[in-house]
Amino acid sequence: MKAEVDMNKGVAERESHLWNAMHKHDPDAKKMVAVSGEGSWFKDEEGNAYLDGVSGLWCLNVGYGRQEIVDAAAEQMKKLSYFPLTMNHQPAIQLANKISELLGAAYQTFFSNSGSEANETAFKIARQYHMQTGNPGKYKFISRYRAYHGSTMGAMSATAQANRRVKYDPSAPGFLHVAPPYSYRSLYSGTPEEKDLRAADELEEMIQWEGEETVAAVIMEPFISGGGVIIPSMKYIQRVADICQKYHVLLIMDEVVAGFGRTGKMFGFKHAAGVQPDIVTMAKGLTSGYLPLAATAVKAEIYEAFKTEGKDNHLRHVSTYGGHPAACAVGLKNIEIIENENIVNRVNELGESKLIELHDLMNHDNVGEVRQVGFLLGLEMVADKVTKEPLSDAKMGEIVGRCKQKGLIIGKNGDTVPGGNNILIIAPPLTSTEEDLDFIIETVSSVIHSM
């Protein structure tokens, strides 16, 4: 085996020992190798340009190629290349303080490297918190079907999509799942809000049936993203928060996708007035993907239970690279850009003046529903609008493939949901220009109309 790769050979002919993520082992999938990126666009080795309509893996909030972020990382690496957070360094303190400010209340932040780890950290904190506050029996976690919370064993156990789990089960004990607020395919009748509130009732019932003394936390995204862009009524989120409070169950808000402007607020939960989660997990948009970094922010009251004062109460959890100084410096610069460029308002305005045009596709026979919050869109594709039969995998693949041929990368909820992977996903960088957004609208519309 040679380590050097013959770059003169086409990608498909090259010997590659790279194992791609979520990759069906067909040679076609390997044909594109990205080499550079600028704004919302990246280029492959052959010079083809693509608009990245899913922001990498929903993470490139401020787009590719921001020199000021590169500089922030380089300067920090020159100053202090590494330091563990068993002690302190300045960028980590500054970023933790900034996160607390943005969340709008006093939170204490633990840093790690990925969204999965941020959620694992939240689970450990939740269990230990209950143990140290007189409720050692509270160990169960409730999440919603269709949710994705990560790939590691605990986070996968909270992920409630059979296809992501069946080959790796048994997953961790103590993870329970309840129906999502998915009004388009609800078992209940009524307005979307009424249907969503029934989903909240089911969650309350689950806590009662399981015994509130056994339930540690509910973990939820404000808007289920990977599981199909499901946008509940805000009353649902408020009601879940109330239920959590009533049964002394912690509310873990997974802001890995929604955080840092994606939905037109700095955090997705801020759409639901009065909700202040006990724990907030974040990753992706925290650094816009420039370096790996994730955070688990915990309300000050919860952190109190970990103060030692002679007891052995501290959190027995550590991550070698979590809160790497360069990653924290990048996080701070990234947030500075989001604030200085008024990106959250921009997402609101352009979401409503531009991307909203995609709702016109509702006139098409195969578009069952268009769901949107800010720069996060899901198009639920159906073979039949009355029966709501999901559009076939083959047709979904064709739509995504044709967009790619035209230079636009969009996503579909990947191989996850029983009955179909029938939701197209559009989540461009939050800095996309109006022309970029026009290109997305035109390309997606023309491809769907040509089907």
Interface residues with ligand PMP (CB under 6 A) are 57, 114-116, 119, 148-151, 221, 225-226, 254, 256-257, 283
**Nearest distance, CB of residue 32 and ligand PMP, angstroms:** 20
Classify the C-alpha dihedral 60-61-67-73 as positive or negative: negative
Measured from the CB atom, the residue of 161 and 183 that comes closer to ligand PMP is 161
Nearest residue to 424 (alpha-carbon basis) of 435, 408, 405, 407: 408
Nearest residue (CB) to ligand PMP, 175 versus 439: 175
Query: At closest approach, how far in Å is the CB of 258 from ligand PMP?
Result: 8
115 or 420: CB nearest ligand PMP: 115
Residue 140 or 284 having the CB closest to ligand PMP: 284
Report the nearest approach of ligand PMP to the CB of residue 377 (Å): 15
In whole angstroms, how close is the CB of 151 to ligand PMP at the nearest point? Answer: 6
**Buried/exposed code over 416-438 (b: 16+ C-beta within 10 A; e: otherwise):** bbeebbbbbbbbbbbbbeeebbe
Tell me the closest approach of the beta carbon of residue 379 to ligand PMP, in angstroms.
18
Complex with ligand PMP: residue 366 or 416, whichever CB lies closer: 416
| Distances, alpha carbon 51 to alpha carbons 43, 276, 377, in Å | 9, 36, 16
Contact 262, 231 (CB under 8 A): no
* CA within 13 Å, CB half, 218: 29
CB of 438 to ligand PMP, least distance (A): 27
In the complex with ligand PMP, the residue whose CB is nearer, 113 or 366, is 113
Nearer to ligand PMP, 223 or 439 (CB): 223
Residue (154 or 390) nearer to ligand PMP, CB: 154
* DSSP class per residue in 262-295: TTSSSSGGGGSTT---SEEEE-GGGTTTSS--EE
Min dist. Cβ of residue 312 to ligand PMP (A) = 30
CB atoms within 10 A of CB 396: 19
Q: What is the DSSP string of 106-171?
A: -EEEEEESSHHHHHHHHHHHHHHHHHHTT-TT--EEEEETT----SSHHHHHH---GGGTTTT-S-
Smallest gap from Cβ 361 to ligand PMP, in A, equals: 24
Task: State how far the Cα of 144 lies from the Cα of 219, in Å rounded to an integer.
Answer: 8
Q: Which residue is nearest to ligand PMP (CB)?
A: 115
> Which residues fall within 8 angstroms of residue 81, CB to CB, at 6 or more apart?
325, 326
Minimum distance, C-beta of residue 113 to ligand PMP, in the bound complex (Å): 8
Q: How far is 236 from 156, CA to CA, in rounded Å?
A: 24
At residue 244, φ and ψ (nearest 5 deg) are -60, -45
Q: Which of 59, 61, 29, 55 is nearest to 41 (CA)?
A: 55
Place of tokens 């040509």: 450
CA atoms of 43 and 53, how far apart (whole Å): 14
CB closer to ligand PMP, 99 vs 361: 99
When the beta carbons of 150 and 390 are compared against ligand PMP, the nearer one is: 150
User: Tokens standing for 364?
Assistant: 């098409």
Report, in Å, the least distance between residue 118 CB and ligand PMP: 7
Q: d(Cα 362, Cα 342) in Å, to the nearest integer?
A: 31
Q: What is the number of other CB atoms lying within 10 angstroms of the CB of residue 97?
A: 13
Least distance in Å: CB of 432 to ligand PMP?
20
Measured in residues, the chain has a length of 451
> Based on CB atoms, which residue is closest to ligand PMP, 91 or 150?
150
Look at the alpha carbons of 242, 224, 97, 127 in this order and tell me if their dihedral is positive or negative.
positive
